Amino acid sequence: MINAILIERDPPPYRASLTKIDESQLSAGDVTVRVEYSTLNYKDALAITGKAPVVRQFPMVPGIDFAGTVEHSSNPSYKSGDKVLLNGWGVGESHWGGLSQLARIKADWLIPLPAALTARQAMAVGTAGYTAMLSVMALERHGIRPGDGEILVTGAAGGVGSVAVALLSKLGFRVAAMTGRPAESEFLKQLGAAEILDRAPFAGAGKPLAKERWAGAIDVVGSHTLANVCASLRYGGVVAACGLAGGMDFPATVAPFILRGITLAGIDSVMRPRPDRVEAWRRLSKDLEVKKLELLADEISLAEALERAGSLLEGRVRGRIIVDVNR
């Protein structure tokens, strides 16, 4: 028997609890991983609280990412003792996830843990950091370089935003960090932000075109914030959109696209092809300062993930939440 968070709704009501499950109950797969660390992400918090229909089938073990050691494998790609990690692929939504001491997974969904990172460090980065790296890579792919001008990061005190600030700063960009939590200003400066901006001016309806300022941006908010970021990009600017914390809508006009030639690059981390995943984690192991991970990370137990989910949804959590599934 192993410990896991299990989400059930039969019989009603919808509920998430820490319980014991048998290994035989795990989802189908050709690799069984002894999980060392998982994380608590925004999507996990939605699943645990039932605030959005994230879970596709019940019962479900949440946890969209994890890192650990292969215990059994019937796939030649992995053998017992291999260090691996996983992000996305519907794990924690339609396939039992990482908030458990064991996970059974398809080998194609795993990638090797980079040698420069421990399992704990990888989960200090987690899906949020992996998404941040994909966003940085998108800016680079569209030709944005440190000499081109400032980069804006919205939702900067959250998981994706905080890692994005740290990465961009390390790569030589001047970063402006937008947040609705002024108390986190010093934290963001420690990560490398050169300027802290209040989110309020970006949160409401704005003009089709604003004064040109940003060479690029990473947006985790969506809605009016994303529209206002697009309106204030410089000619040829690029925004990587990777979140919807402020809403799924996009109340914008085509003006900045056709008058300033800007690019809106969508970032998906769930179904990303394997080569992109491997490259993103290679870059993370090289371009993210390990010492900054401790500024980003707060470690909790499996049981504490249940109570912390509500705080995350309310925007009262900064950085990354690592879950030690074995305590």
Task: Tell me the C-alpha distance between 3 and 48, whole Å.
Answer: 16
**Do 88 and 64 meet the contact criterion of CB atoms below 8 Å apart?**
yes
The pairing of beta strand 263-266 with beta strand 233-241: parallel
C-alpha dihedral, 274 to 277 to 282 to 286, nearest 10°: 170
For residue 138, what are its two tokens?
């998108």
Residue 302 binned pLDDT confidence (cut-offs 50, 70, 90): very high
Among candidate residues 138, 178, 157, 181, the one with its CA nearest the CA of residue 269? 138
Tokens representing residue 22 in the block: 């048998």
pTM over cut 0.95: no
Residue 301, pLDDT above cutoff 90? yes
Contacts of 244 (CB under 8 A, 6+ apart): 221, 222, 223
pLDDT at residue number 317: 82
Residue 290 has a pLDDT of 83
Q: What gap in Å lies between CA 115 and CA 282, rounded to an integer? A: 9
229-267: pLDDT as tens digits = 999 999 999 999 999 989 999 999 999 999 999 999 999
Q: Is the pLDDT of residue 149 over 90?
A: yes
Q: CA-CA distance, 162 to 173, in Å (whole number)?
A: 14
Crossing angle for the helix pair 119-141 and 274-287, nearest 10 degrees?
110
Q: Which domains, ranges and CATH numbers included, belong to the chain?
A: 2-113+292-324 (3.90.180.10), 127-266 (3.40.50.720)
Strands of the chain (E only): list them.
2-8, 15-21, 31-39, 65-73, 83-87, 102-105, 110-112, 151-153, 175-179, 195-198, 214-219, 233-241, 263-266, 297-301, 320-324
